[in-house]
Amino acid sequence: MTLSPKQQRFLNFVQRYTVEHSQAPSYQEIMDGMGFGSLGTVHWYVNALTHNGHLNRSKGPNGKRALTLTCEEHATPARLPLLGLIAAGEPIEALENAEAIPVPQPFVHPDNFVLQVKGDSMIGDHIEDGDYIIVRKSAEANPGQIVVALINGEATLKRYHPVNGHVELHPRNPNYPVITIHKTDHFQINGVLLYSFREY
């Protein structure tokens, strides 16, 4: 059965939340995350998508955090372009190529891309050397978000902190210094981190 855009968005939310938090969302978290006005709306979507074979309730109708996508949903092929390397240590230039790698379906979007991390300055956020990150193209970020930033033409991965009229980029490893952006620096945000993963 063909899904409506709203039903697909619901499934994407469930899968994305499960991937990011290593557990399924509660009905309350779905209501908040989807902007629904009541839990009844969540129940309606769950019942419809379960009936149509797109969702399973692994612990029965009343089970908590029991929503899982069916095998057919997980089997949907999904890839994003791997644009190159991003430094989580000293800034290096991102490399351009046309390779694409598998990613969870909910992260597929025209504005999203993948970079491979080089360095260990973000290990406090569980981002290690060799990991992959999914990034949403954006020229803006909220304080504290992990960003892909360009400093004088070189790319780096850090937490973004605007402080008293200037910008600081914070590593998550005490062995690396905070990068302070000066007025003479050419600085821009290229994207915000959505998700990180590694291949074994």
User: What is the three-class DSSP state of 108?
Assistant: coil
Q: What is the pLDDT of residue 157?
A: 94
Q: How far apart are CA 147 and CA 193, in angstroms?
A: 6
Q: How far apart are CA 130 and CA 119, in angstroms?
A: 8
Q: What is the pLDDT of residue 64?
A: 64
User: What is the three-class DSSP state of 128?
Assistant: coil
Which letter does DSSP use for residue 25 in this model? P
What angle do the packed helices 39-51 and 5-21 form, to 10 degrees? 100
Q: Which residues are part of the catalytic machinery? A: 121, 158
**pTM of the predicted model as reported, rounded to 2 decimal places:** 0.66
Q: How far apart are CA 166 and CA 134, in angstroms?
A: 27
Using only the alpha carbons of the chain, give its radius of gyration. Answer: 19
pLDDT tens, the chain, 200 aa long: 567 888 888 888 888 787 777 678 889 999 998 999 999 999 999 988 888 888 887 655 555 677 877 654 444 557 888 888 887 765 555 555 557 888 877 788 888 889 989 899 999 998 999 898 999 999 999 999 999 999 988 889 999 999 988 999 999 999 999 999 998 999 999 999 988 887 65
Q: Which domains, and CATH codes, for the chain?
A: 5-74 (1.10.10.10), 79-197 (2.10.109.10)
Q: What is the pLDDT of residue 75?
A: 44
Q: Which residue has the tokens 């990991």?
A: 131
Structure tokens at 152: 């004088």
